[in-house]
Structure 1
C-alpha cells in the first residue's frame, strides 16, 4: 500500500486539533467549524495539500467537542465523475461522532444549493481504547442477528428513554433471554450513521435496517446517544456473560446512491477514488450492489478507510468480529473477485484484526458475484444453500433428501476443496432479508404492499408454504401445523454442522405479515412484540441450544468422514443405500453420531431422526450395549419407538 500521510480525520494533539482528509482531484478543500449547536459556521480555513493527496490543517485551541465539516471546490462535471460543489457541506469519511442523524432532503442532490443546515456535523473526539481481550465467540456457536432498534422498542422491562438503543442490549432482562436460548454472539445489524433512500420520505417510510451508510465509523445518534462509550459498555456487559458482539458492516456501497443521489461525503470529496466507475466511463457508477453505487474496495485509500474503521471498533469497543454485507465487493479487483485480494490479506495479517471473527455474505449482483465457498480462510460464509435446501426438504419437494443431508453435514461439496478439512458454513433458515421463520410456514407469496412499490420489491421465490391458509388465521389445526413445522426447521438448524444463525424473534414465532423486504418498516411490523412471543417455541430453542452445547460434534467444524463419526440410516435401522437416497419421495432419515458428551465425559451414541411426512413412522435403531434410545427433547426415560409426523427428535442411547 502506498504511503499515506498520517493521521486522517480529526486528531487531538497538544495545543489543538489536526484535520486531514484525502482528495486527489479537489482544487481546494476548506475546513468549516461550527458553534456548539452545529448551526452557525464560525470559521472557514483553507487546507494545505500534502504528499499523497492529503489536505491538512492545524487549528490551534480546538479540542474535543469541536463541530466541523468540509467543503471541496473543483470541477463539477458528473459526466467525468467529478462532483465538486463548494455549496455542499461534506462529512469527514473518518468522522467518529455526529451531532444528529442524516435526514433526506432534495437539496442534498441539487448542485449549487447550500446544505450546511441539513448535514450532520462531525464532532472531534478522543479515542478511549478498551483493554484488549480475545474474541468471546468461536466458530460453531450460535449467532443471534439483532436489529437494535426493533429488538428493544417494545421490551416491557426497558425504560422508555432507553428503548431502541445499543445500551438497551445490556439490560439484565435482555441478557437473561440471550443466555436462556444459548446465544454465543449477537450480530448487530448496521449501527453506523445511515440515510433513508430518497423514495422513502414521500411515502412516510424510514429505513429500519441501516444498510445505507454515509459515515463508516460514526455510530447512528438514534441508536447510540451515548456515542462510542455506549457501545463499549454494552460489549463489556455482554462479554461479562460470555456473549460476543459481531458488527454487520456495509463497505460495499454508500447512501449517496446513484447519479441522482445525495452529495454528503465521499462523492463530494473524491468521487473517482471512493467509487467504482465503468471502464473508460468515469461518469458511470458501477452498480454491483443494486444500491446505485459500489465502493472501490481495491483502491489503497479505500482499503485504508475500511481497515481503520474495523480497527476503531476493535480498539475502542472491543468487538469480537465483523459480518460483511455483499462481501464479494470487498474482494473484487481489476479482473473480478479474487480470494487473494489485498484487502483480505490485510485483514488477516493486521495485528489488531487478525484474531477477529470474519463473516462474509458471499454474493452481490455483479458479474461473477456468487462466491459461496470461495472466500479465504478464516472467513465464515453465510450459506444460502443450507437455507434453501432445508426449506425445500421440509416443504415436501421431491429428490431433496441427499441435498438436505449434505447441508446438515457442513456442505462439504462447497467448502471441502484444496485439502480443506473443516467447514466455514454459517447455517441459517431465515435472516433479516426475507421471510421470518413463522412466515416461511404461513405464506406462499410475499406481501410487501406496505413498502409502497406495488409488491414488486423483495424476492418472489421464497421456498415457503402456508399449511393450507395464506397468512393470519384462527384455525387451530393450521396454527398447530405451523408450530410443528417451525420446530422442525429450528431443530434442523441446530442439528447442523458449522456455525448457526438465528434472527432475533424467530425463536418466539414473530411475523412480518408476509413482508419479505421490511427494511423500510420502522414500526410495529418489525418491532419485536415481546408480549406475543410463543414461550413454547422459546423453550424448544433453549432445549436445542442445550443439546448443541452438550454434544460438541455439531459445533466441531471438522467434516464428517464416515469412519466412526456418522452413520446414515433409515428409520427402521437399516443403513441407507443408494436407492434410498435416490427415491424421489424419500422423507425420513436417521443421522447417528458418535459425540463427546459434556455431561458424562464419555463418547456417546446420538441419533437425530427426521420425519417430514404427515404420518407417524416406526423407529428401530441399532442397539447400543442394551441401552434404550430416549428423547432429549421430551425428557422422558421411555424408549422411543416412533417418530412423530413433521418432526425432528434427538435421541441418546
Structure 2
C-alpha cells in the first residue's frame, strides 16, 4: 500500500487490487534507440501478493516509461460475472497520468499497450493555498475547459486548454464570479462517439467528457503540451487562485467509459468486474442507473477507497477547492442497486478530514428516475443542484399557472427542501441553466429542442424544457421580440442573483450565447458549443448587466443570509421585524392563487444581524402581455428617513441604466404606483437621505 505507483527511496512500488485474478503481470514499455522495449514481469502470488493486493518494488527504472497490467482469471460473464482476458493490457485505476495525446487523436494503445504513467510529483506552488471562501458568498460559473477559449474569437494564445482558461482570469475576475465549476477534466476518450453529422457524415466527438477513463489523470488533450498536462492544470489553478477564484471539478463516479457488455475492457472489467460494477444477481447483466451502460459499485469498500483516494489527491496534489458529483444519487445505492437510508459513501465524503474545507455539491438524481433534491443527505456540508429552482423560475417566466407560490419559496432559499438537520439556504445551488439543456438565450428563443445535428433524428435531449420562444421560434429580426427576450433574461438574472442560496451561471449566458436550440450538445465540438467572444461586444449591455448584478449581490449580505427567514406570523416577531414581506399589487394583500402571475417582496435590511443592510423592494410581473402597476410600500420600520430609489428596471432599453447606484437612481415615493413591464422586474433600494 498505497495502491497505484509510489516513489520510494529505493525505487517505485506498484500495487494493484484484484481479488479474483489468478495471475497478474506488470508490463513496462520504454523508448530506446533501438525502438520500443517491452518487459513483462509476472508477479509471484507467494511473494508479490498480500491479501487481495498484487505488488512489486522495482529499482533503477528509466526516467520515462509506460506501464500496464495483464490479468488472467475466469471469463464467465453470464455466470460468475468475471471478465478476465489476458490478451489485454489494462490501465491502472490509480494512474495519475495516461499516455498523452492531443485533442482528437485516436488512442489505439488503450487495452493493447501500456498506457499508464508515473509522473513527476515535484511542482512549485509558490505558496498557493486554498481560498476557503464560505459557500454562502460563492458565485459559481460553470464552464467547459475546451469550449471556453476554443473559438477563434477568444484571442488567447493557447485556445481550448487549461492555459487558455488561465489567460482569461482577468475577464472572470472582472465579471465578479468567485468559483469556476469545470466540466469533466479527467481523462476520457473523445473519439468514443459513434454518431455522425447528418450533413457531412463526419464522426462527432464525446465533447463533454462524462465518460471517464480515470478518476485521477487530468485530460492531456486539454494541455497545450500534452506531456505537461499536470503542470498546466496546476498553473491554471494557481492563476485562478491569484485572481480570487476557486476551482470546483465535476467528477463522474457513477459510471466509466467501459460501458455495458458490448463496451471495451480498459481497466475495471478486466481487474475485478464483480467488485467495481453493479451486476444483476441472476443474469449478471450490468445495472444501468447511469444511462451510460454501467454503474459503479460505489458503496463497496474497495470502490469507496478508490473514490476517496482520488478526491484527496485532487485536493492535496492539485489544490482544487471543491467537487460537483455527477448523478450523485448513485453514490447512495447499495451493491444490489437499492437506495440506502444512510449511504457510507456519502457520509465518508462529508466527514473526511482532508476534504473538510472543500465544497461538495450533489447532482441529486440519477438516470433511473431517483430524484433526491432536498433529501440527498441530511449532512450540513452537502449542497445540491436545486433542480426545483430551475423549474419553478422557468415556469413563472413562461407565465404558467400556479407558479407564484413555488417561485416565492425558491426566492426565500427553498426552506421546504433544506430547513432540516442544520442545513441552510446555501445548501441550495440555484441555477436556471446548466451545460445540460438550453442556454439562457435559447430558453427565451425556442419552444422545442433542435438537436438534428447530434445525428439521432432529434430523439435525444429533454423534451420538457419549460421554455417559451417569446413569440417566434429561433432567430428573428423582430425588435419587439428580441427586446422581450432580453427583458426576460434580465428578469431571470435578477431572480437568480437576488435569491437566497448560491447562484450558478453558465459560461456565456452573461452575453447571450446560443446553441441554436440544441439542448444536448454533448457531441458538438464546434461553434455550436464553443463560446463566441464576439458576443461580449455585440451584447455589451447584457454583459454589463450581469457584471453589475453580481456586484450588487456581493455588496449586500441581505442576499446571502446565513439562515432562513423567520415566518412573519411568528408572535415573537412583530410586523416591523418581519425579515421578508410578501405582497401582490398592494401592500398587505397576497395572491397565491392558481391564476396569480405577479409577485413582490420587501427585504427588511434592519433585521439582518449584526449591522443591518439596505432594504430592497422587488416587483416581478409574470404576465406575457399585461403591464402591471404595484403600489409601493414605505420602507420597513422602525428605521426612519429612508427613501426608495429605483436601481433596476429590466424593461429599460437604455444600455447605460439597467442597474444604477442609489445616489444616481430616481426616487420612488411610497404610495405611488410602479409600472412593471410584461415579464419584467423592478427593484427599489432604500437609502438614508432627504427627498430630492
TM-score by length of 2: 0.86
What does the per-residue CA deviation read over 1:66-108, in whole Å, with 9 as the maximum and x for residues that have no partner?
2111111112222132211122121110010112349898999
Among 574, 584, 592, which residue is 1:581 paired with?
Answer: 592
Tell whether 2:570 aligns with 1:555.
no
Deviation, 1:179, is: 1.9
Specify the SS of the correspondent of 1:629. strand
Aligned to 1:620: 631
Counterpart-to-counterpart distance in 2, 1:106 and 1:550: 49
Q: Corresponding residue for 1:360? A: 362
Match of 1:111 in 2: none
Partner residue of 1:170?
166
Partner of 1:489: 492
Alignment of 1:152-167 (within 5 A): 152-154=149-151, 156=153, 158-160=155-157, 162-167=158-163
- Residue 3 of structure 1: aligned partner: none
Query: Hey, what does 1:54 align to over in structure 2?
Result: 53
Equivalent in 127, 146, 149 of residue 149 of structure 1: 146
Q: CA deviation at 1:293?
A: 0.3
Q: Tell me which moved more, 387-396 or 362-371.
A: 362-371
Residue 223 of structure 1 corresponds to which residue in structure 2? 222
Q: Which position in structure 2 is the counterpart of 1:646?
A: 679
- 1:542-571 Cα distance to aligned partner (Å, 9 max, x none): 111111111112222411113435333435
Maintained 8 Å contact 1:139/1:498: no
> After the TM superposition, which of the residue ranges 531-540 and 368-377 deviates more from structure 2?
368-377
1:637 aligns with 2:665: yes
Cα distance in 2, alignment partners of residues 392 and 219 from structure 1: 39
Q: Which residue of 1 aligns with 2:652?
A: none
Matching residue within 572, 583, 598 for 1:570: 583
Q: Is the 8 A contact 2:24 2:43 kept in 1?
A: yes
Q: How far apart are 1:154 and its partner, in Å?
A: 2.1
Question: Cα distance, 1:65 vs. partner?
Answer: 2.7
Corresponding residue of 1:93: 93
Q: Is 2:185 the counterpart of 1:195?
A: no
Provide the TM-score with structure 1 as the length reference.
Answer: 0.91
CA distance 1:557–1:285, shift in 2 (3 Å): farther
Report whether the alignment pairs 1:133 with 2:129.
yes
What is the distance in 2 between the residues matched to 1:397 and 1:468? 15
Offset of residue 337 of structure 1: 2.9
1:185 corresponds in structure 2 to 179
Q: How far, CA to CA, are the matches of 2:444 and 2:376 in structure 1?
A: 32
SS at match of 2:7: strand
Taking the aligned partners of 2:307 and 2:221, their CA distance within structure 1 comes to 23
Mapped partners of 2:32, 2:476: distance in 1: 52
CA gap 1:184/1:26 in 2 versus in 1, 3 angstroms: same
Paired residues for 1:414-429 under 5 Å: 414-418=417-421, 420=423, 422-429=425-432
**Cα distance, 1:299–1:63 mapped onto 2, change above 3 Å:** farther
Distance 2:553 2:298 in 1: 38
Q: In structure 2, how many angstroms separate the alpha carbons of the residues matched to 1:629 and 1:477?
A: 30
Alignment match of 1:450 (pick from 427, 430, 453): 453
Matched-pair contact (CA < 8 Å) for 2:373–2:387 = no
Aligned residue among 2, 21, 24 for 1:29: 24
- Whether the aligned pair in 1 keeps the contact of 2:398 and 2:466 (CA below 8 Å) is yes
Other-structure match for 2:619: 609
Q: In structure 2, the residue corresponding to 1:176 is in which secondary structure?
A: helix
Cα distance in structure 1, aligned partners of 2:58 and 2:155: 42
**Structure-2 separation of matches of 1:551 and 1:48:** 65
1:64: Cα distance to partner?
Answer: 4.8
Mapped partners of 2:403, 2:369: distance in 1 = 29
Does 2:227 align with 1:214? no
Equivalent position of 2:350 in the other structure = 348
Residue 71 of structure 1 corresponds to 70
Change over 3 Å in CA distance of 1:492–1:48 after alignment to 2: farther
For residues 421-465 of structure 1, the C-alpha deviation after alignment (integer angstroms, 9 at most, x for no partner) is 545111100000011111111111111111111111111110001
Q: Which one of 549, 552, 576 corresponds to residue 544 of structure 1?
A: 549
Cα distance, 1:15 vs structure 2: 3.2
Q: Does 1:270 align with 2:281?
A: no
Corresponding residue number in structure 2 for 1:42: 38
Summarize the Cα distance change of 1:182–1:22 in structure 2 as closer, same or farther, 3 Å threshold.
same
Q: Conserved in 2, the CA contact under 8 Å of 1:382 and 1:426?
A: yes
Give the Cα–Cα distance (whole angstroms) in 2 for the partners of residues 459 and 163 of structure 1.
Answer: 30
Alpha-carbon distance in 2 for matches of 1:76, 1:267: 11
Q: Does structure 2 conserve the Cα–Cα contact (< 8 Å) formed by 1:143 and 1:502?
A: yes
Q: How far apart are the structure 2 equivalents of 1:168 and 1:205?
A: 23
Q: Secondary structure at the match of 1:270?
A: helix
2:655 aligned partner: none
2:605 to 590, 595, 605: 595
- Within the alignment, does 1:440 sit opposite 2:443 as a pair? yes
Unpaired runs of 5+ residues, structure 1, are: 1-5, 109-113
CA distance in 2, matches of 1:198, 1:493: 35
Instruction: State how 1:240-279 maps to structure 2 within 5 Å.
Output: 240-279=242-281
Rounded to whole Å, the distance in 2 between the matches of 1:472 and 1:495 is: 29
Residue in structure 1 matched with residue 10 of structure 2 by the alignment: 15
Q: Deviations over 1:580-637 (max 9, x none)?
A: 112x332222211123799x96532111221122333223322233543212234243
Please say if 1:396 is aligned against 2:399.
yes
Aligned residues of 2:425 and 2:500 also touching (Cα < 8 A): no
Cα 1:526–1:123 change in 2 (3 A) is same
Is 1:500 the counterpart of 2:494? The answer is: no
DSSP 3-state at the match of 1:456: coil
| Matches of 1:234 and 1:339, distance apart in 2 | 39
Q: 1:462 aligns with which of 460, 465, 473?
A: 465
> Residue 69 of structure 2 aligns to a residue in which SS?
strand
In 2: Cα distance, 1:148 partner to 1:435 partner: 19
Higher mean C-alpha displacement, 256-265 vs 628-637? 628-637
Could you say what secondary structure the match of 1:485 adopts?
A: helix
| 1:145–1:421 distance in 2 versus 1, CA, 3 Å | closer
Distance of 2:164 and 2:316 partners within structure 1: 22
The answer to whether the Cα contact below 8 Å between 2:360 and 2:381 also exists between their aligned partners in 1 is yes
The structure-2 alpha-carbon separation of the partners of 1:576 and 1:232, relative to structure 1 and needing over 3 Å to count, comes to farther
Q: 2:15 touches 2:54 (CA, 8 Å); kept in 1?
A: yes
**In 1, Cα distance between the equivalents of 2:328 and 2:463?**
23
CA RMSD of aligned residues (A): 2.6
